[in-house]
Structure 1
Amino acid sequence: MGEKLKNAPVYFVIGQVRFNPIPMPIRDNIDKIQEGFRQLGYTDYRPQTLQQMQIVVQNNEVTYEPGVPVDIFEFANAERTELFRLEPNQLSLQTVDYQTFATFSETFAKALEILTTNVQLDFIERVGLRFLDAVMPREGEDVADYLHTQLLGLSALADNLTTTFSLSETLMKRGSDSILARVVIQEGQVVFPPDLANAGMEIGPRFRAFRGQLAILDNDAFYAERMRFHDLSTIESIVDTFRRLRELIDIVFKKSLKERAFEVWKGEA
């Protein structure tokens, strides 16, 4: 991810900023917010309301009671390869057509400026950046040719056995930043993880076409210390945080792979 790869393995990226809940100001100013996103190029506007349920346990009996409805607003480009999702306490940008970090972070900064022009934020409590990369071996190869042995699990010790599923998960910290690194090896096709199943987007055709043994590198980095929101300088601080998280992801990504992977993705093999 430090350089543009000819056959880049990244198939989904999501950046997210979580702030103090402001459901009413968002709802009251949604027309202005929508126009701002439209001018930014996100013309596919889809509002929706989700009905939450509360689980109440009393006298050893479980009952379900309706909770407060939650408004969610989506602003996507015409192709729906990239969209913003605005919720009462967070804004996220997700894409299945990731190009460069500079473009991604600049777009997010413009969206935050649109939001904060129309509603007032008091604080930011979490900044997150998550990359999903698909390791799709060529014919005659398998994921062991691409991944470092430590990520192969017991399959690295088993002779004449084919791995149909393996999961590795590690939580690491660097200063105030954290990263949850997951590696899933499986037979089948490239899909979204269960928690992103309702992303509202379709994986790119190059990834949808693959069938066979593959590995998903799911690197989820985040900064979870509260920062007060003052003015546009806070947006610059958020972008700087995204930059640190992206560098952390890049380190873990490179450490996870053998040179063979980069030869294929650079188009050298």
Structure 2
Amino acid sequence: MYDRREVYSNAPLALVTAEVRYPYSPRLRQADTLDRIQLALEDELPIRKTEQRATLEFSFEGGINKKQSTEVYRYLNHASTRSAVISPEAFTIETTRYSDFPDFLDLMLRVATAIANEKAIPAIERVGIRYIDEIRVPHEIEDASQWSNWVAPTLLPQLNPGVGPLKSSQGVSVFETGDSTYLQFQYAAVDGPPIVSNSPLRRTNFPETGKFFVLDFDSFWQSGTPEESRSFTTQFLEETLKRLHQPTGKMFQAAITDRLRDLFRGE
């Protein structure tokens, strides 16, 4: 059963993603495999594009050791608000127009089924679901400490040395939420361009540069060792995503104030 949450008319969600990582799969580089996946998804994600993703490798001595480029395949809807990105090492579902968890889960399972039919994934090493909120309010924020009227005051520095206005603030916390499951929570008061860009997915209303507060929830299951990885089944994926979804809502509610809830409700 899904955990039901209040649906806000002015929700601050900028991006929702879910990712499955697995050992390298050469089948997911074969043209005929990718064509069959595209045909299986054509009524939902009919447009296919090839992208190059750069990976930077850092050394402890400092600097960048190597820059690798990986080819990935993105399947999009016509509005470019939902997509599936498939590579030999992971597949990801992304949306900038999120309605609710059951709808998002259905899309994830549909993509997973299309890949499972190709027998392309030997095992699952990590499953994650991530929500990124960009909170903007119709009030001038002159000092980042004023965000305490909208988000939990504990997300802001409790020390006030009186040396000048607080320009920015950020933090990260990691919670153990179950057996091999974790929630990484990042937050920041930002003055600048949006965190989530307007490409390759399109945002419904792309905001201007300015002051906003970011809440970033990454709930994930991860195998401790290769021996602890799980067989790739849609049943395991569905059960795991439902488990991972639950703590994100609790953390979101703990991170905001009643005043902000009223704003999200349009009151």
Q: Mark yes or no: TM-score above 0.5.
A: yes
- Over residues 27-46 of structure 1, what are the superposed CA-to-partner deviations in whole Å (9 max), with x where a residue is unaligned? 2411111211213x111210
- Over residues 151-173 of structure 1, what are the superposed CA-to-partner deviations in whole Å (9 max), with x where a residue is unaligned? 0125x635594332111111111
Contact preservation (8 Å) 1:189, 1:214: no
Name the CA distance, whole Å, in 2 between partners of 1:257 and 1:239. 28
- Over residues 194-249 of structure 1, what are the superposed CA-to-partner deviations in whole Å (9 max), with x where a residue is unaligned? xxx696223331x514x54310001111100244326xxx2122112111111111
Q: Which residue of 2 aligns with 1:17?
A: 20
Unpaired runs of 5+ residues, structure 2, are none
Aligned length: 253
- Over residues 53-94 of structure 1, what are the superposed CA-to-partner deviations in whole Å (9 max), with x where a residue is unaligned? 8899xxx9x997786x63311001111111110011111001
Q: Which residue of 1 aligns with 2:243?
A: 244
Matched, 1:216 2:218: no
Q: Which residue of 2 aligns with 1:149?
A: 153
State the secondary structure of the residue aligned to 2:41: helix
State the secondary structure of the residue aligned to 1:208: coil
| CA RMSD after TM alignment | 3.0
Q: Normalising to structure 2: TM-score of the pair?
A: 0.83
Give runs of ≥4 in structure 1 deviating > 4 Å. 49-56, 62-67, 158-161
Matched, 1:256 2:233: no
Q: Which residue of 2 aligns with 1:83?
A: 83
- Over residues 122-156 of structure 1, what are the superposed CA-to-partner deviations in whole Å (9 max), with x where a residue is unaligned? 211100011001221222564221111110125x6
Question: Structure 1's 2 and 162: CA in aligned 2 closer, same or farther, altered over 3 A?
Answer: farther
Report the residue type matching 1:186 in the other structure.
V
Contact preservation (8 Å) 1:23, 1:89: no
Contact preservation (8 Å) 1:148, 1:257: yes
Question: Structure 1's 160 and 15: CA in aligned 2 closer, same or farther, altered over 3 A?
Answer: same
Q: Which residue of 2 aligns with 1:32?
A: 36
Contact preservation (8 Å) 2:82, 2:96: yes
Name the CA distance, whole Å, in 2 between partners of 1:12 and 1:213. 18
Within 5 Å, give how 1:1-269 maps onto structure 2: 2-28=5-31, 29-39=33-43, 41-49=44-52, 70-140=70-140, 142-154=146-158, 157=160, 161-176=164-179, 177-192=181-196, 200-205=200-205, 207-209=206-208, 212-225=210-223, 226-229=228-231, 234-267=233-266, 269=267
Contact preservation (8 Å) 2:28, 2:88: no
Identity of aligned residues (%): 18
State the secondary structure of the residue aligned to 1:38: coil
Unpaired runs of 5+ residues, structure 1, are none
What is the CA-CA distance between 1:3 and the residue it aligns to? 1.7
